[in-house]
């Protein structure tokens, strides 16, 4: 998962995309339907805490408040793991935010169904592989890149212009701190030394690397950047949108 319509970007996974030499080969935009799960016989008023993945907690924040749950909200590694943890440790004061399928797998009851704050809650997942796929032009493709630059924030405008000039639509831009060089110093004799954060920029755009316009855009981007990597060029998810439901 890389982004959610309620919780925003999943920053750790953006960092992991850069750290590991894997390639994005596809994407899926999946409606997310959250449930509040507990051991059989447990009632909501008995609960002292709710556990789940940080994104799930943020996606259900307002609904949990509306349910009148005066509980501690605790982040764990994943939603299904939260359900498994409750079942394995027989925790009768703890509920999990997870799917109805997790309730079925771990023998939990559903205390509340569809507790996401918005019924149009959707998460975008990317599929990763050791080898890239061959880009094509017979269907809509998306390309993901990451870049850095050494010449200040004005370069970002030039990079974005390379896409705008070729009528290439951007669907996502995400900035993350540059771990190896977090601060850039700019000396000015009149006002002293300015300190700016350095960033890595992740960009998704609607074009295949098999297209000449995409190749030319990246060739131009490379002129302005100190680092550029294509994370993947892959088919766009064109599945018709259908909000999540209890079915």
Active-site residue, 125 included: yes
Determine how many CB atoms are found less than 10 A away from the CB of residue 220: 17
Q: Please name which of 194, 30, 176 lies closest in space to residue 116, comparing C-alpha atoms.
A: 30
Active-site residue, 123 included: yes
SS3 174: strand
SS3 11: helix
51 φ, ψ (degrees, to nearest 5): -120, 145
Determine how many CB atoms are found less than 10 A away from the CB of residue 243: 11
Task: State which H helix or E strand residue 154 sits in.
Answer: helix 154-164
In contact, 144 and 230? CB cutoff 8 Å? yes
d(CA 90, CA 74): 17
Catalytic residue among 63, 94, 123, 225: 123
> Which residues participate in catalysis according to the annotation?
123, 125
């Amino acid at each position: 998962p890389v982004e959610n319509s309620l919780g925003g970007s999943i920053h750790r996974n953006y960092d992991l995309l850069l750290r590991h030499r894997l390639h994005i080969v596809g994407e899926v935009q999946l409606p997310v339907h959250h449930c509040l799960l507990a051991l059989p016989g447990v009632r909501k008023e008995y609960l002292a805490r709710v556990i789940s993945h940080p994104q799930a907690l943020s996606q259900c924040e307002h609904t949990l408040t509306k349910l009148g749950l005066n509980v501690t909200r605790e982040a764990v590694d994943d939603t299904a793991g939260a359900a498994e943890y409750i079942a394995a440790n027989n925790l009768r004061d703890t509920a999990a935010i997870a799917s109805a399928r997790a309730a079925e797998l771990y023998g939990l009851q559903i205390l509340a169904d569809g507790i996401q704050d918005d019924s149009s809650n959707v998460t975008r997942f990317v599929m990763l592989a050791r080898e890239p796929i061959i880009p094509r032009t017979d269907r809509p493709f998306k390309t993901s890149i990451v870049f850095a630059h050494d010449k200040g924030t004005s370069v970002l405008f030039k990079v974005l212009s390379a896409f705008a000039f070729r009528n290439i639509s951007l669907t996502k831009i995400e900035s993350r701190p540059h771990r190896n060089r977090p601060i850039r110093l700019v000396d000015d004799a009149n006002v002293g030394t300015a300190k700016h954060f350095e960033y890595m920029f992740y960009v998704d755009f609607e074009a295949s690397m098999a297209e000449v316009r995409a190749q030319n855009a990246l060739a131009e981007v490379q002129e302005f950047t100190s680092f550029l990597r294509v994370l993947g060029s892959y088919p766009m998810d064109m599945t018709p949108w259908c909000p999540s439901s209890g079915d």
